[in-house]
Structure 1
Amino acid sequence: MKLFSLEGKNAVITGGGSGIGEAISKTFAGQGAVVHILELDSNKAKSIEEEIKSLGGKAFGHQCDVSNQEETKKVINAISEKSKIDILINNAGIAHVGNIEGTTEADMDRLYQVNIKGVYNCILSCIETMKNHGGTILNMASIASTVGISDRFAYSMTKGAVLTMTYSVAKDYLEYGIRCNSISPARVHTPFVDNFIKKNYPGEENEVFQKLSKTQPIGRMGKPEEVAHLALYLCSDEASFITGTDFPIDGGYIKLNG
């Protein structure tokens, strides 16, 4: 069997229709997993589902608001009734720019609902079935979970919570054969980054892109596929000795910046 094979495994990937989530969906399907893409926007989920199927992979798109516990349980229960869930990737998340004075109560509530409660809802919905056969949970944290980043107060708060949820779940479910880890990317070049620059710096897109790229010591942003490859390893049987650990993928940001 080839290394990092996911043949015979079923993976639930939140936010799997764009950016890093899209890359994970395609990578996992390419390694033989049956991929279930959960997206707030059903069109995104269906688009990636069709693309994966056109390449010979197996995928199913599901509309799901992960901040809604009832809806999340309904979608995940429907999946688990047809096939056991081996892998859960908590990738769905939203961003916010601003320090504490630039963060409204509405901003805090909005980020909490998706970035913290969404992760909680998905783990809670999967954990009971995983207790029967084991499984792997991978949470998308951030370098903002562990280091200070200017003007990212609310975002950093939520990603710090994702990191500590990872440790807690890993500790509590060792006896059930459930592994739980997280990945902490630095800035990754996704459509979100391009749209952010276009919206906030019209006419200066190239200059701002280069400036943001150079904030990583390695001199460029990460690629979604690079994060997906790390996720593949951590969810494969080759990583069966790894749990309760966060993995930075940051171009040297945490250790080499400053």
Structure 2
Amino acid sequence: MKKGVSFLFATAIVSSVVMADHHAIHWGYSGHGGPEQWGQLSDDYKMCMIGKNQSPIDIRTDTAYKTELPAIRFDYHTATEDVVDNGHTEQVDIEAGSGITIDGITFELKQFHFHTPSENRIDGRSFPLEAHFVHADAHGNLAVVAVMFQYGKANPILAKIWSKMPKHAGRKHHLSMTADDVKHLLPKNRAYYRFNGSLTTPPCSEGVRWLILKHPVTVSKAQVREFANIMGDANNRPVQPLNARIILK
């Protein structure tokens, strides 16, 4: 976690705009402002402590409920705008007009960002990097598509993003990437796990549709190291209890 950062960032903030809150609460991923303390930092963050449907989780495939999940319809056809360092992650903002359709509802793609190591796990396995594609419908309901990265060849799309990553919180750089570039961050096979969860950052609001793509894409160790060095530390929330939730596969 970067020291001295006072930007209030919600992973799936609908406007996808990084905001500096004059009354921002300092939170991070370690120390007094770490995940175990989030629920005590502000009344607005209480859900981080008392919520029963919190994210991330460890997806146990042997107990997940097998069903015929409908395909996610991806309709990504707009370019990127900026890559922003908000003190907690590197966030890529997207021009309006792209989205997904799930449950017969259209969710517009607002932004995507990264966590190292991964926040969600699959059968106990942690991945070196995870991307969250954050979508919102017309009523502000959220759907997050998560992509896991495993070590392998350097990822050419990440290379484009990494080349523009700001190195200081609150800074942003223009990023010229096409819709095809964005789509190529996704695996070709887009089968997924599904569960109901929350934002993985304060205020930890619940009611988020989580769609975890089953098949990872590659990232090099050098690329993960570069991202981690800019963040200054890990930026992942620990897995949360599943409680009574059902995971669909």
- TM-score band w.r.t. shorter chain: under 0.3
Pick 1 or 2: higher relative contact order, CA cutoff 8 A, min separation 6: 2
Q: Which has the higher helix share?
A: 1
The TM-score normalised by the length of structure 2 is 0.26
Q: Which has the higher strand share?
A: 2
In terms of Rg, which structure is larger? 1
The TM-score normalised by the length of structure 1 is 0.25
